């Protein structure tokens, strides 16, 4: 094996290790989701000297979780042996629930939160799509409040099983 390929292998391995560490950081407000599931993690670069650059994007302008996420990323990287890490927030393109992975949506549903329905649009944002109850699967649901316990959720109620539930707004 030539020295160059060895270096490249080493570099790929480093990137993979950094990615693995960062991708498992969780959203502090919905701990069942990782930042990779959410689509908040935009990119990871590892320089040859081992410095890691991570770009994340906030869900909402005022999302208080974003600072915690930045801190948790640095901690996760430090534990994986990357002591030099920079986390940058990018606003553009604006985050959308369309970036949430299918795994993420399934995890949300299992956690009792209705995942965003359909693709981002004005109609979807305003909750005009039919929302399926995460508890019993009924579509016989109604909106209780446009806002919920966090910026990204609205409060809904199921008329079939009578349970209230959070809906992750489609934005």
Partner 1 sequence: MATTSISFAESSLLNLVLRRADDALILGHRLSEWCGHAPMVEEDIALANIALDLVGQARSLYGYAALVEGSGLTEDHFAYRREQHQYRNCLLVEQPNGDFAATIVRQVLFSAFMDLYWREMMTSRDKALAAMAGKAEKETAYHLRHSGEWLIRLGDGTDDSHERAQTALDELWVYTGELFEADDIERGLAQSGVAPDVLSLEGSWNQRLAPILREARLEIPQAPFMQSGGRSGRHSEHVGYILADLQYLQRTHPEAVW
Stretch that binds Zn ion, among 13-21, 39-47, 116-124, 159-167 (CB under 5 A): 159-167
Is the CB of 15 or the CB of 163 nearer to partner 1? 163
Stretch that binds partner 1, among 8-16, 70-78, 86-94, 133-141 (CB under 8 A): 86-94
Q: How far from chain centre, in Å, is Cα 89?
A: 14
Pick from 50, 42, 46: nearest CA to 23 = 42
Q: Does 151 bind Zn ion (CB under 5 A)?
A: no
Q: For residue 114, give the DSSP letter.
A: E
Q: How far from chain centre, in Å, is Cα 86?
A: 19
Q: Does 118 bind partner 1 (CB under 8 A)?
A: no
Q: How far is the CB of 95 from partner 1 (least distance, A)?
A: 8
Q: Which of residues 5-44 bind partner 1 (CB under 8 A)?
A: none
Pick from 67, 47, 40, 16: nearest CA to 171 = 40
Residue 59, token pair as written in the block = 């869900």
Of 54, 56, 63, 158, the one binding Zn ion (CB under 5 A) is: 158
Considering CB distances under 5 to 8 angstroms, the limit depending on partner class, which of partner 1, Zn ion, none binds residue 5? none
Q: How far is the CB of 160 from Zn ion (least distance, A)?
A: 5
Considering CB distances under 5 to 8 angstroms, the limit depending on partner class, which of Zn ion, partner 1, none binds residue 31? none
Q: Does 87 bind partner 1 (CB under 8 A)?
A: no
Q: Where are the alpha helices (DSSP H) in the chain?
A: 3-23, 35-38, 65-79, 102-111, 122-125
Q: How far from chain centre, in Å, is Cα 34?
A: 6
The conformational region for residue 127 under phi > 0 = left, psi -120 to 50 = alpha, else beta, is: left
Q: Please report, as ranges, the residues that interact with Zn ion according to CB under 5 A.
A: 133, 135-136, 138, 158, 160-161
């Amino acid at each position: 094996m030539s020295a160059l390929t060895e270096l490249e292998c080493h570099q790929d391995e480093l990137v993979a290790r950094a990615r693995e560490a960062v991708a498992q950081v969780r959203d502090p407000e919905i701990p069942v989701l990782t930042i990779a599931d959410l689509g908040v993690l935009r990119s990871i670069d590892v320089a040859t000297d081992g410095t890691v650059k991570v770009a994340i994007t906030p869900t909402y302008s005022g999302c208080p979780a974003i600072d915690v996420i930045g801190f948790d990323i640095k901690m996760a990287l430090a534990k994986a042996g990357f002591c030099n890490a920079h986390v940058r927030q990018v606003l553009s393109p604006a985050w959308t629930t369309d970036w949430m992975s299918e795994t993420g949506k399934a995890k949300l549903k299992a956690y009792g939160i209705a995942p965003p329905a359909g693709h981002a649009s004005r109609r979807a944002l305003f909750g005009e799509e039919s929302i399926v109850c995460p508890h019993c699967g009924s579509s016989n649901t109604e909106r209780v409040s446009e806002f919920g316990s966090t910026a990204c959720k609205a409060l809904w109620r199921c008329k079939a099983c009578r349970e209230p539930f959070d809906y992750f707004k489609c934005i």
